Amino acid sequence: MKTAAAAGATCIAVLALTGWVQRPVFAAVSQDPLVPVYQEAAREYDIPWTLLAAIDRYAELSKTKSERQAAPYYGYAFEPALWAGIGNPDWSDVNPWSIDLFGGIGQDHNHDMLALPWDANDRIPVLAAWLDTEAEDVDVAVWDLFQDEIAIDRVFAFERIFDQYGLHPTRHCFPLAKRYNYTVKYTFGAGRSFGGRRRHEGVDIFADYGTPVLACSTAYVEVKGWNPFGGWRIGLRDTNNVYYYYAHLSSYAKGIHIGDVVQPGQVIGYVGNTGYGPPGTAGRFPPHLHFGMYRDVGQHEWAFNPAGPLSVWQRLPQKIIPPPID
């Protein structure tokens, strides 16, 4: 799957210094060129570089259109008043001395005499310094950056995935063990009988009760537990902010917990027919896996048809990773 983070050429913004500082026209669409900058800042401030990368990834993926216009560069964008200093009459100030005078956090780190919030060589060390000095507790420092509970969970989960699998884990797997019998019903968008008027936001894969259900991506367990529609369900999120929703399970794989990082092919549960009622309700329909995919764009999340990815993944070889034996 292509994403803003992975797709396209790297368009590093070129600054036109024609007597005054001009904002860049093109955004950097790839995170990869920033890795050496993360690593250097991380060394200087003794924090993991993958945390800096995770903050930037989450910030980039959750930028709204207007936020992107205001900050057309990859990664976290500091509030102008925070960068320049709240009392600074010019919140677009890039002079490191006047910024310092007004208590702004902006700094010139690459010695070009300018503290540029859109220059990764200034922005990322400032981010690292913030994490290093603003709080003894790094959770609090991240909270201060986003002011959002969800952001904390995702940033630290992204960091754990980056630590283990790098910035671009690309492997995928069909969400059901293929050596069992199964039938995919492509019913995305069809009407539903239970729970009033709603669309079917996914695909149903019919299989026998107990058929192993597999993680389809390198991701972390964001949601696990009962839901009146989905029964025993599990939700995985990957580092492109794609959410994979598995419903109607008979049970979960042993040792699967919220926050765990899973890899493609890992058993996460078993096909069942739970849901459409209070906790424990089962048997109101034939056993199947309901599989949905959602893309998160900042303030909201929308379902998209998983048929395309599923048909690609169906052709991939499967290496099933069983749950740990207890």
Binding site for Zn ion (CB under 5 A): 204, 290
H/E stretch holding 133: helix 120-133
Q: Check: CB of residue 152 under 8 Å from CB of residue 146.
A: yes
The pair of structure tokens assigned to 268 is 């996460």
Least distance to Zn ion, CB of residue 119, Å: 48
Least distance to Zn ion, CB of residue 297, Å: 23
Least distance to Zn ion, CB of residue 202, Å: 5
Residue carrying the six token digits 């900042």: 298
**Distance in angstroms (rounded) separating the CA atoms of residues 204 and 246:** 10
**Distance in angstroms (rounded) separating the CA atoms of residues 46 and 229:** 46
Nearer to Zn ion, 108 or 204 (CB): 204
**Distance in angstroms (rounded) separating the CA atoms of residues 103 and 51:** 25
User: Which single residue brings its beta carbon nearest to Zn ion?
Assistant: 290
Nearer to Zn ion, 233 or 290 (CB): 290
Least distance to Zn ion, CB of residue 204, Å: 4
Q: Check: CB of residue 75 under 8 Å from CB of residue 158.
A: no
Least distance to Zn ion, CB of residue 323, Å: 24
Using N-to-C axis directions, what is the helix angle for 35-45 and 120-133, rounded to 10°? 30
Nearer to Zn ion, 56 or 204 (CB): 204
**Distance in angstroms (rounded) separating the CA atoms of residues 164 and 277:** 39
**Distance in angstroms (rounded) separating the CA atoms of residues 38 and 56:** 10
Least distance to Zn ion, CB of residue 308, Å: 17
Nearer to Zn ion, 123 or 290 (CB): 290
Tell me the residue type at 20: W
Nearer to Zn ion, 60 or 204 (CB): 204
Q: Check: CB of residue 272 under 8 Å from CB of residue 226.
A: no
**What SS3 state is found at 69?**
helix
Residue carrying the six token digits 């995985």: 236
Least distance to Zn ion, CB of residue 195, Å: 12
Nearer to Zn ion, 78 or 291 (CB): 291
Nearest to 162 by CA among 310, 55, 82: 55
Nearer to Zn ion, 27 or 176 (CB): 176
Least distance to Zn ion, CB of residue 164, Å: 31
Nearer to Zn ion, 159 or 204 (CB): 204
